[in-house]
């Protein structure tokens, strides 16, 4: 063979091998970089060498606070490596060490992760800190550690780059809302949603359980709420074609609700992942499902008025002039507070239609008795009474920003969610009120990524790209307690659409909520999210959208 032909043959072989290498999934090569974690840690220093996690690896812990974190790591190793880490009673200079160290770790949810060739040291002061340290540790591992489905492939060892991470969250409230009212989601999907939040250090799951289109939580004292209020479609009392779309064929009834046992199970599941669940019972508007279930308790029979909500739902507002409304709501709140241990309950307060109660004799009587001048003052009276009910249950209120119209009577410990704009949130913070930033322009994940007929999602507000979410600057006021994104389900006709609209925007949300403002750089985040971030989603079977910059 001539020298020319040999050279040509070698080049062909080289380019063939290069093509194969390019086409192989990145995680098959293992990860060498420590800059793969989402959300980005506050401090991350490279070390020398790698730690090899294998069947013979052992762990030591000096605290029960690390149990949830250890169990989470064990779960993934058992599924994807077919072995469990064994515990040793005496600390040795090898393996994985969990140490309770409040003297060194000063901030709640903070941790220190130090990885050497022979030893991993995890230090924290609380359960969340240990859990987030393990999440960071797992993100440094091959992405296949996150696989959810049972596979014949078994990875026997995991190479983890040496480094030192010192980390803590910027905000205490790092939330994500899922609307299960407009379109219902199974308990299995809710658990997956919560687990994926935990993987990115989000810690507040806002569960929107009631609205015009469905009541999704079992209340023992009022069985019609789920027997009647959880069913929508032909032959039901709820309108088939409200503004939102509805899953399934047009001749089929949509139904679904969560039993109290299912809710307890999900609460425990979330707690093990350092997530608190914020239940929302929307009122006084967005209450059609409750009203059709118990009209005599919640509406003034002498009210001859007719009004429609923004979503074109007629007469969907609980009457605040009737004592039966407060008895009903106190009983509901009593059962809800018994199911959810979180200190807060969300009571809605948004989008009360104009004209509601205008012709209600019961409301007119209330206004005269209490000296109320208009509908805003009636609503403030309504929420003041509900706040007293919550106080008796040792709970605090979260509500949408509309409850701040006029002179509010809410407690200082209550939280306000600002959704209409960032300016609205800043204005509320200046009134020395606790604010959760959730502006539609940046954090409503039901909106399209870009304006296109090919894209799913709403179009009533501006498009919300991943880059736009990442660009959000919540503000520095001490009254801004955190950030939250919302995934309303009007257009979520299946779980794939829900995943597509949520991911990768949740990756950006997590970094906005966790990482210091000065440490956030879009191009650097885009690189991490496009590679390791999406790879971790891919192995879990999440139907995500690509991270595409908007120019």
Active site residues: 211, 286, 351
On whether the CB atoms of residues 378 and 372 are closer than 8 A, the answer is yes
67, exposed or middle or buried, with CB in 10 Å at 0-12, 13-18, 19+?
A: middle
Rounded to 10 deg, the angle between the 505-514 and 495-502 helix axes is: 40
Whole-angstrom Cα distance, residue 520 to residue 346? 31
Q: How many CA atoms lie within 13 A of 76 on its CB side?
A: 24
**DSSP three-state, residue 51:** strand
On whether the CB atoms of residues 197 and 506 are closer than 8 A, the answer is yes
> What DSSP string describes 179-194?
E-SSS---HHHHHHHH
**CA 434 → CA 161, 473, 486, distances in Å?**
41, 17, 19
What distance, in Å, lies between the first and last C-alpha atoms of the chain? 53
On whether the CB atoms of residues 411 and 347 are closer than 8 A, the answer is no
On whether the CB atoms of residues 218 and 293 are closer than 8 A, the answer is no
**CA 54 → CA 49, 75, 104, 360, distances in Å?**
16, 15, 29, 70
Length of the chain: 551
């Amino acid at each position: 063979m001539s020298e020319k032909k040999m050279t040509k043959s070698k080049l062909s072989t080289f380019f063939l091998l290069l093509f194969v290498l390019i086409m192989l999934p990145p995680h098959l090569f293992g990860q060498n970089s420590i800059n793969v974690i989402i959300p980005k840690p506050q401090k991350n220093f490279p070390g020398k060498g790698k730690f090899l996690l294998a069947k013979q690896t052992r762990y030591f812990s000096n605290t029960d606070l690390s149990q949830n974190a250890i169990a989470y790591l064990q779960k993934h190793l058992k599924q994807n490596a077919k072995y469990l880490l064994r515990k040793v009673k005496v600390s040795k200079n090898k393996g994985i060490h969990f140490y309770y160290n409040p003297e060194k770790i000063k901030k709640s949810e903070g941790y220190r992760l130090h990885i050497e060739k022979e030893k991993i040291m995890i230090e924290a002061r609380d359960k969340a800190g240990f859990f987030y340290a393990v999440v960071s540790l797992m993100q440094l591992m091959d992405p296949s550690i996150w696989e959810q489905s049972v596979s014949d492939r078994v990875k026997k060892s995991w190479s983890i780059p040496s480094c030192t991470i010192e980390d803590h969250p910027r905000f205490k409230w790092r939330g994500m809302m899922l609307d299960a009212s407009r379109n219902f989601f199974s308990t299995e999907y809710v658990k997956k949603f919560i687990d994926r939040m935990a993987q990115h250090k989000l810690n507040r799951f806002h569960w929107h359980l009631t609205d015009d289109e469905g009541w999704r939580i079992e209340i023992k004292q009022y069985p019609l709420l789920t027997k009647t209020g959880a069913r929508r479609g032909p032959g039901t009392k709820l309108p088939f074609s409200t503004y939102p779309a509805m899953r399934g064929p047009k001749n089929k009834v949509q139904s679904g609700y969560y039993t109290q046992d299912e809710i307890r199970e999900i609460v425990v599941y979330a707690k093990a992942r350092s997530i608190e669940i914020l239940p929302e019972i929307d009122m006084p508007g967005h209450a059609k499902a409750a009203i059709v279930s118990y009209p005599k308790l919640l509406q003034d029979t002498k009210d001859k008025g007719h009004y429609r909500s923004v979503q074109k739902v007629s007469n969907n507002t609980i009457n605040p002039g009737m004592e039966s409304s407060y008895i009903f709501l106190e009983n509901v709140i009593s059962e809800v507070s018994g199911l959810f241990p979180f200190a807060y309950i969300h009571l809605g307060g948004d989008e009360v239609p104009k004209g509601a109660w205008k012709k209600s004799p019961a409301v007119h009587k209330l206004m005269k008795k209490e000296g109320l001048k208009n509908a805003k003052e009636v609503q403030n009276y309504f929420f003041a009474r509900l706040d007293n009910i919550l106080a008796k249950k040792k709970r605090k209120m979260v509500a949408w920003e509309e409850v701040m119209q006029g002179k509010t009577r809410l407690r200082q410990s209550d939280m306000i969610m600002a959704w209409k704009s960032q300016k609205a949130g800043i204005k509320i913070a200046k009134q020395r009120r606790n604010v959760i930033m959730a502006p539609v322009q940046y954090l409503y994940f039901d909106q399209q990524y870009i304006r296109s007929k090919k894209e799913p999602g709403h179009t009533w507000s501006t498009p919300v790209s991943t880059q736009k979410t990442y660009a959000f600057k919540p503000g520095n006021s001490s009254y801004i307690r955190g950030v939250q994104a919302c995934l309303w389900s009007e257009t979520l006709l299946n779980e794939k659409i829900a995943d597509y609209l949520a991911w990768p925007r949740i990756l950006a949300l997590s970094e906005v909520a966790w990482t210091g403002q000065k440490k956030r750089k879009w191009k650097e985040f885009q690189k991490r999210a496009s590679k390791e971030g999406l790879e971790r989603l891919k192995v879990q079977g999440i139907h995500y959208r690509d991270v595409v910059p908007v120019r």
